[in-house]
A and B are shown apart, each in its own frame.
Chain A
Amino acid sequence: MMFLDYLWVFLVGGTICMIGEILIIATNITSARILVLFELTGVFLEAIGVFSFVSDFAKAGINVPIVGFGASLARGVIGAVKTNGLLGIFSGGLMATAAGISAAVFFAYIFGLIFKAKTK
Chain B
Amino acid sequence: MNREQRNLAYNKYVSAKIPKTKAWPSLFNSFWVGGLICCIGQGINDLILLFFPSISEQSAWAYTLVVLIFLASFLTGLGVYDKIGKFAGGGSIVPITGFSNSISSPAVEFKNEGIIYGMCVKMFTIAGPVIVAGIVSSVIVGFIYWIFLI
Residues of A within 8 A of B (CB): 5-6, 9-25, 31-32, 34-36, 38-40, 43, 47, 59-61, 63-70, 72-74, 76-78, 80-82, 85-86, 88-90, 92-94, 97, 99-101, 103-105, 107-109, 111-118
Decide if B94 touches A60 in the complex (CB within 8 Å): no
Q: Which residue, of A86, A90, A109, has the highest number of chain B Cβ atoms within 10 A?
A: A109
Decide if A14 touches B64 in the complex (CB within 8 Å): no
Instruction: State in angstroms the CA–CA spacing of A10 and B21 once bound together.
Output: 24
Contact residues in B for A85 (Cβ distance below 8 Å): 146
Given A64-B96, A103-B70, CB of A76 within 8 Å of CB of B138:
yes
Q: Does B121 contact A (CB under 8 A)?
A: no
Neighbour of A35 across the interface among B41, B126, B135, B149, CB < 8 A:
B126
- Report the minimum CB–CB distance from B113 to chain A (whole Å): 10
Q: Which residue of B lies closest to A38 (CB)?
A: B94
Q: Which residue of A lies closest to B36 (CB)?
A: A10
Decide if B100 touches A25 in the complex (CB within 8 Å): no
Decide if B133 touches A18 in the complex (CB within 8 Å): no
- Report the minimum CB–CB distance from A56 to chain B (whole Å): 11
The secondary-structure label for the interface of chain A is helix
- Report the minimum CB–CB distance from A109 to chain B (whole Å): 6
User: Chain B 84-112 against A: per-residue CB contact (8 Å), 1 yes, 0 no?
Assistant: 00001111011111111011100111011
Contact residues in B for A15 (Cβ distance below 8 Å): 31
Contact residues in B for A93 (Cβ distance below 8 Å): 134-135, 138-139, 141-142
Neighbour of B146 across the interface among A39, A86, A108, CB < 8 A:
A86
Contact residues in A for B89 (Cβ distance below 8 Å): 20-21, 24
Instruction: State in angstroms the CA–CA spacing of A29 and B128 once bound together.
Output: 17
Decide if B34 touches A13 in the complex (CB within 8 Å): yes
Instruction: State in angstroms the CA–CA spacing of A97 and B62 once bound together.
Output: 8
Decide if B104 touches A112 in the complex (CB within 8 Å): yes
Neighbour of B62 across the interface among A99, A114, A117, CB < 8 A:
A99
Neighbour of B104 across the interface among A22, A63, A107, CB < 8 A:
A107
- Report the minimum CB–CB distance from A37 to chain B (whole Å): 9
Instruction: State in angstroms the CA–CA spacing of A55 and B109 once bound together.
Output: 36
Decide if B74 touches A107 in the complex (CB within 8 Å): yes
Instruction: State in angstroms the CA–CA spacing of A9 and B36 once bound together.
Output: 9
Instruction: State in angstroms the CA–CA spacing of A83 and B110 once bound together.
Output: 43
